[in-house]
Structure 1
């Protein structure tokens, strides 16, 4: 491993050249480089970022889903569901953020990058479970964190806080059962109490 990482500006140029037309954008902000690629180019872009001499991102550190619904108070006009990966080059001591947007909101699908980084397997299962993003080519895509009978995807912005079903033990049936949620939704408005001389009567 090299002890000295190249500058963010140099990494931006290297990634831009390696991805070529596959990159929708390569940007630098707060010292971090982010590459956005199209869904059709996602898997090939991942291979390039792993194998290209100036990139060599051998390690996938993290992969997660993002729901851009109501992002920036509704100003977002792009696709709703995004997959974000954080990559590390151990040999070149550099990092990269890789983003891809699913073309369809109704059925968000992108390629699995497990053929490139095997560490993606459980990360992609988590993103499928929480956001409903389908990873084409994943050989074991099933829920990871929620229960087998869970309905919906709890990290989506439109998922109800109380959920759709609740689980309880039924002593008569002598087993766990599922039933519609019985919790009444409510809004909690904090009550502000203002008192004279609050804080010991400090003067400003």
Structure 2
């Protein structure tokens, strides 16, 4: 008897064929990797083909793999990871697409396939700097318009680049370079000779 995951894997392999670069069945989930050039075609096929019928995009996020595996990662740095749901078949699928250029990460937008991608793609752009080609309103959604950089990138400084404060003299909010001095907190450890003994 085949399991639900085996049925899903067979359906995905049958529908997508050679367009799948990698398929993993781990921890009760199936993840596929597809190329950026085939991404839109793959996603449209997954939505429209009767064997898969992924009607809903339930999540999309960006990932920075530069520090993945303690820095041993050798692939592309940025990826967009989508989670799809088929109500008809009651199964889920994770689809990962890597941006071919680390300096200017661009992947196609899914907004014409699932309009739920709108804010997810804006969030991935805002926090990681991943551009979505074809998105009609790609602007920041969580950080301030004057924010510099993308805070979820692994090379973004913990304290940021600028800070915002209210200036009473100017009676407005001003931006200035960060004044926080980096420091290392060392916890104070108290050792008792007879701790835990009666």
Shared fold, TM over 0.5: yes
**Structure 2 gap segments, 5+ residues each:** none
Distance 1:198 1:69 in 2: 43
1:192 Cα deviation after fit: 3.0
Q: Which residue of 2 aligns with 1:164?
A: 161
Alignment deviations for residues 152-202 of structure 1 (CA, whole Å, 9 cap, x no partner): 000011100100000011111111111100001122233333211213x15
Query: What's the counterpart of residue 51 of structure 2?
Result: 54
Matched, 1:181 2:178: yes
Q: Secondary structure at the match of 1:39?
A: coil
User: 1:71 Cα shift?
Assistant: 0.8
Asked if the contact 1:22/1:45 (under 8 Å) is kept, the reply is yes
- Which deviates the most, 6-15 or 45-54? 6-15
Runs of 4+ in 1 over 3 A off after TM superposition: none
**RMSD (CA atoms):** 1.1
What number of residue pairs does the alignment pair up? 196
2:143 aligned residue: 146
Determine the C-alpha separation between the residues in 2 that align with 1:154 and 1:192.
33
- Inter-partner Cα distance in structure 2 for 1:192 and 1:22: 56
For residue 22 of structure 2, what is the aligned residue in structure 1?
25
TM alignment of 1:84-163, pairs within 5 A: 84-163=81-160
Q: Name the residue aligned to 1:42.
A: 39
Looking at structure 2, the residues matched to 188 and 49 of structure 1 have their Cα atoms a distance apart, in angstroms, of 50
Inter-partner Cα distance in structure 1 for 2:155 and 2:77:
12
**Cα distance, 1:31 vs. partner?**
1.5
Helix, strand or coil at the partner of 2:70 = coil
Tell me the CA shift for residue 65 of structure 1: 0.6
The offset of 1:102, in angstroms, is 0.6
* TM-score between the two structures when normalised by the length of structure 2: 0.96
Q: Deviations over 1:80-129 (max 9, x none)?
A: 11111111001111110010011111110000001111000000000000
What secondary structure sits across from 2:45 in the alignment?
helix
Aligned-pair CA distance for 1:18 = 1.1
| Unaligned ranges ≥5, structure 1 | 1-5
Aligned to 2:5: 8
TM-score by length of 1: 0.93
Displacement of 1:19 in angstroms is 1.3
